Amino acid sequence: MRQICGALHWLYTLRMLKPLTMTDERAIHPVILCGGSGTRLWPVSRKTCPKPFLPLVGETTLFEQAVGRVAGHARFAAPIIVAGAAHGELITAQMHGGKHRLIVEPSARNTAPAIALAAALLPPDDIMLVCPSDHHIADEAAFRSAALAAAALAADDYLVSFGIAPDRPETGYGYIRRGEPLAGGYALAQFVEKPDLARAKDYLASGEYSWNGGIFAFRAGALLAELSAHRPAMAEAVREAVAKGRKDGSRFHPDADVFAAIEGDSIDYAVMENTARAAMVPADMGWSDIGNWAALHEALESDSDGNTVRGAQADLSDCRNVLAMSDGPRISAVGLEDVVIVVSDGEVLVTTRDGAQKVGKLPGASNQ
Amino acid sequence: MRQICGALHWLYTLRMLKPLTMTDERAIHPVILCGGSGTRLWPVSRKTCPKPFLPLVGETTLFEQAVGRVAGHARFAAPIIVAGAAHGELITAQMHGGKHRLIVEPSARNTAPAIALAAALLPPDDIMLVCPSDHHIADEAAFRSAALAAAALAADDYLVSFGIAPDRPETGYGYIRRGEPLAGGYALAQFVEKPDLARAKDYLASGEYSWNGGIFAFRAGALLAELSAHRPAMAEAVREAVAKGRKDGSRFHPDADVFAAIEGDSIDYAVMENTARAAMVPADMGWSDIGNWAALHEALESDSDGNTVRGAQADLSDCRNVLAMSDGPRISAVGLEDVVIVVSDGEVLVTTRDGAQKVGKLPGASNQ
């Protein structure tokens, strides 16, 4: 039997925000995940203020943008944020007084336990829309349209992944292949790990493959049922961590010892690749995971030489496709192509676009 | 008649340091030129502390090394430094109490007037060895050997240029072609302006060409006589500036108004390309003018990947032929090749080796 005593009052409060109905128009609960260290965007992204909480694209932070995308629309309930204790103050500040609930992860155990925590705290028939907090989405209308399509499939007990329309043969992402058409989407025929370039080109040419962007829609009960089927120990531990957890205002603290004992895994490995009811909705929405400095540069506006300057003054001479970003010292550059220069808080990073994938392994990034 | 009243006492004092003899063993007076802004080594080289006074190679400054090369040898008299007033304190500090005379240029008028000032202050039969203060010379024994050969030719009233043995088809230097052999050197057959790459390759292959390194030996009177023949107004103005000048301890101040009115020119254009008695001595001495960041990198020791780190910590990953130099902030670099990164006093410079020539034109360098 599901244990709900510890979470009961908190859950009740949450449901007051947006009454649940059992029609297709039922509320969608955004679940915004704030895990991940973002070390590949060091030295701007630091442990104390990682990637989601930085104004990397535009004037607002990626977290603020993630919250904004699911606000001001009748179908979306107040968001549930899942984050580590270290970032509670950042989240409070960046919610700007907006209604929300915060689930404080006692330890980082990857996405499957984080999502299951939210699922266990929601009524089983509620729909959850799982959104990373550190992605950029240029076309919010396209995002919402895909979210509604995904929610409709989730209400029919599909486990739905957003399939991001690929615009290049990217080797840094996993792919998903669409299968038979469903209403508003497709059955999900196949998951593919990060491919080599030749295969990525084939995927792009075929038109059948999308990037696996880490955005999902589930009925809460369906997600927990599939987790129980494929990761029973994890599912039980999450339920116990919730049952033994405690509420503190708008925050919920799962039991730390129980949660820490969970063997972490991603939602893809734990559930999506195993379930028989995986579906996907196509989403062509100007998506980027801002996964490294080169990806950030692509999401930013450039001048006619492909150069972008953010922050302090930069003088670029004979440069092409250069991103120069500084929190104070002037950057002067000559003759560079496809290079990123970042100056932040006493650290200077210079990397090629290709090298950007390795920034997280630098001593400065990994020994914070 | 040569006017010497203003400079008489100063000159007399100078000669006390090293008695003049009229044999081939006469003293050689090093004349160390400290003009030049060195903006191509910005942001480390600044107007207030330009290139000669910086420890760019090794632990001592280029100026200290220039002085050291002509110290501790019986043939060399105490040096005469020619510099602007702004750098007097730097020179006093970097002479470390060593005997010297300082000629304070009232204004910058290129090398011909600067050298002529020293010549006009020396007895006409004394030998002067003109040395830029901002070059690096790895092989000091080879330098001294060439200096003695040049001094012998100068005593025979040749105007002698050091011909630097070229080790690459450099297009950034002027070349000199050797002519008929002389004792210890050659007649200087031809001056060549900076060539294009094809001609530079021909010069290198021919073995007849050397780089014009800006190091010269003259009999003081011979230099002034040739200057009078080819730039009579300049020669007369220098004599007048000296005659109306004033001595202040070990410093000599030429008359500012007279000197400022001189039309500046290089010693090459004013004298060397016009005289019938130009000679050259070959010098293979690990010379570099440290003319830009790429040249400095070549003069420094590198690791097996060609990388060099100077100053603060730098973490270089997958980098080749990278110079990383910082006065504090850590530099982290990934995937770069043939790039120079310099962090100094709140400025960050990143340039390709090819771009290094243009650093002096950057706003930061030119608007100091």
> Which stretches within chain A are classed as H helix?
8-17, 62-69, 88-95, 111-121, 140-155, 197-206, 220-230, 232-243, 256-260, 267, 293-299, 363-366
Please report the sign of the dihedral spanned by the C-alpha atoms of residue A151, residue A156, residue A158, residue A163: negative
Least confident range from A126-130, B71-75, B356-360: namely B71-75
Q: Is the pLDDT of residue B163 over 70?
A: yes
Please name the residue of chain A whose CA is at the shortest distance from the CA of residue B365: A332
User: What is the SS3 assignment for A94?
Assistant: helix
Closest C-alpha among A351, A309, A350 to residue A326: A309
Across the interface, of B334, B343, B351, the residue whose CB is closest to A348 is B343
Q: Is the pLDDT of residue A5 over 50?
A: no
CA distance A323 to chain B (A): 12
Q: Is B168 exposed, middle or buried (0-12, 13-18, 19+ CB in 10 A)?
A: exposed
CB contact under 8 A, A364 and B326: no
| Mean pLDDT of the A241-245 span | 98
Measured between alpha carbons, how far is A256 from A169 in angstroms, rounded to an integer?
A: 42
| SS3 labels along A150-164 | HHHHHHCCCEEEEEE
Cβ pair A293, A359 in contact under 8 A: yes
Share the mean pLDDT of chain A: 92
Task: From chain A, pick out residues whose CB is under 8 angstroms from the CB of B41.
Answer: none
For residue A309, give Cα distances in angstroms to A53, A312, B347. 20, 8, 15
Q: What is the pLDDT of residue A348?
A: 98
Task: From chain B, pick out residues whose CB is under 8 angstroms from the CB of A361.
Answer: 317
Phi, psi (5° rounding) for residue B241? Answer: -65, -35
| Mean pLDDT of the B259-280 span | 96
Q: What is the pLDDT of residue A38?
A: 75
CA distance B253 to chain A (A): 39
The two tokens of residue B81 are 């430094």
Measured between alpha carbons, how far is B134 from B285 in angstroms, rounded to an integer?
A: 15
Please name the residue of chain A whose CA is at the shortest distance from the CA of residue B329: A346
CB count within 10 Å of CB B96 equals 8
| E strand or H helix that includes residue B280 | strand B278-283
| Mean pLDDT of the A267-272 span | 96
| E strand or H helix that includes residue A75 | none
Q: Is the pLDDT of residue B172 over 90?
A: no
Please name the residue of chain B whose CA is at the shortest distance from the CA of residue A43: B332
CB contact under 8 A, A346 and B329: yes
Task: From chain B, pick out residues whose CB is under 8 angstroms from the CB of A330.
Answer: 346-348, 364
Rg of chain A in Å (alpha carbons) = 21
For residue B316, give Cα distances in angstroms to A365, B253, B303, B360. 13, 49, 11, 26
Query: What are the tens digits of pLDDT across the range A321-338?
Result: 999 999 999 999 999 999
Task: Report angle CA A234, A238, A241 to the nearest 5 degrees.
Answer: 135
Query: What are the tens digits of pLDDT across the range A204-241?
Result: 999 999 999 999 999 999 999 999 999 999 999 999 99
| Mean pLDDT of the A84-110 span | 96
User: Which pairing describes strands A308-311 and B330-334: parallel, antiparallel, or unpaired?
Assistant: unpaired
Please report the sign of the dihedral spanned by the C-alpha atoms of residue A61, residue A62, residue A67, residue A69: positive
CA distance B239 to chain A (A): 44
CB contact under 8 A, B350 and A349: no
Q: What is the pLDDT of residue B22?
A: 42
CB contact under 8 A, B350 and A363: no
Q: Could you tell me what percent of chain B has a pLDDT over 70?
A: 93
Query: What are the tens digits of pLDDT across the range B94-121?
Result: 999 999 999 999 999 999 999 999 999 9
Measured between alpha carbons, how far is B47 from B41 in angstroms, rounded to an integer?
A: 11
The two tokens of residue B24 are 């081939």
The two tokens of residue A117 are 């925590």
Closest C-alpha among A296, A309, A314, A42 to residue B348: A314
CB contact under 8 A, A350 and B333: yes
CB count within 10 Å of CB B363 equals 12
Please name the residue of chain B whose CA is at the shortest distance from the CA of residue A365: B332
User: What is the SS3 assignment for A249?
Assistant: coil
Closest C-alpha among A347, A332, A339 to residue B356: A332
User: What is the SS3 assignment for A343?
Assistant: strand
Q: What is the pLDDT of residue B320?
A: 98
| E strand or H helix that includes residue B5 | none
Domains of chain A in start order, with CATH, are 5-291 (3.90.550.10), 294-366 (no CATH)
Q: Is the pLDDT of residue A290 over 70?
A: yes
CB contact under 8 A, A335 and B346: no
Across the interface, of A330, A348, A352, the residue whose CB is closest to B332 is A348
Confidence label for A26 from pLDDT (cuts 50, 70 and 90): confident
Query: ipTM of this model?
Result: 0.86
The two tokens of residue A147 are 């979210």
CB contact under 8 A, B318 and A343: no
Please report the sign of the dihedral spanned by the C-alpha atoms of residue B247, residue B248, residue B249, residue B251: negative
Phi, psi (5° rounding) for residue A46? Answer: -125, 165
Cβ pair B324, B314 in contact under 8 A: yes
